[in-house]
């Protein structure tokens, strides 16, 4: 979300990125159908956006690609596929690259939300912990948002690192994980890498 108007109500633009052009066209149609005119849909590699638009966004939502364990309710084989040996390390690296890019695109005081539809810790808490280790003191002292209260879900669904876990047996949602932070400091430069 780009405000670009010093807090003026109704001002700003939603920039949505979907790297797959066919999915981007569907996303654009859905946004227009919903009546959202102050939006722009782009098709780029999200791992590059932080370097291209450093400290430009008031809000960044990363709906990261994941192993999709959260789809077990609608696809009985989702858990089996998630547990099968694969290029899981590549997926976690892509998630990390997306999260780091999102953090770099975030303005001071902005809000970053990292979300997956999986329930395993190495795709959720471990990726968030890596950002905290990478960013050092600035990230660790960032103001974490009370997502459970904002969404009206029980606080016992909040796990490590204040990650909200939605379990399929305890909510009407598919299993997923969500963490939100606010950045009070200047995001990292692209030269600070791990």
Residues forming the active site = 117
From CA 184, how far away is CA 143, in angstroms rounded? 8
**Phi, psi values for residue 132, rounded to 5°:** -60, -40
Q: How many Cβ atoms from other residues are within 10 Å of residue 152's Cβ?
A: 6
CA distances from 153 to 69, 106, 124, 147, 158 (A): 21, 27, 19, 9, 9
Write the CA distances from 178 to 114, 138, 147, integer angstroms: 6, 20, 8
Alpha carbons 121 and 27: distance in angstroms, whole number: 29
């Amino acid at each position: 979300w780009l405000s670009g108007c010093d807090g003026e109500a109704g001002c700003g633009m939603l920039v949505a990125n979907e790297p797959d052009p066919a999915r981007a066209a569907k996303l654009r149609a859905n946004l227009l159908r919903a009546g959202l005119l102050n939006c722009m849909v782009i098709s780029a590699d999200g791992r590059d956006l932080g370097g291209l638009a450093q400290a430009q966004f008031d809000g960044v939502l990363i709906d990261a690609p994941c192993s999709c364990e959260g789809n077990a309710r609608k696809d009985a084989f989702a858990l089996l596929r998630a547990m099968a040996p694969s290029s899981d390390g590549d997926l976690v690296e892509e998630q990390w690259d997306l999260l780091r890019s999102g953090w770099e695109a975030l303005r001071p005081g902005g809000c970053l939300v990292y979300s997956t539809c999986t329930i395993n810790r190495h795709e959720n808490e471990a990726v968030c912990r890596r950002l905290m280790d990478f960013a050092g003191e600035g990230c660790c002292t960032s103001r974490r948002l009370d997502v459970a209260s904002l969404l009206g879900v029980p606080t016992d669904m909040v796990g490590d690192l204040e990650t909200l876990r939605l379990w399929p047996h305890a909510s009407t949602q598919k299993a997923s994980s969500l963490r939100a932070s606010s950045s009070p400091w200047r995001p990292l430069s692209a030269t600070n890498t791990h």
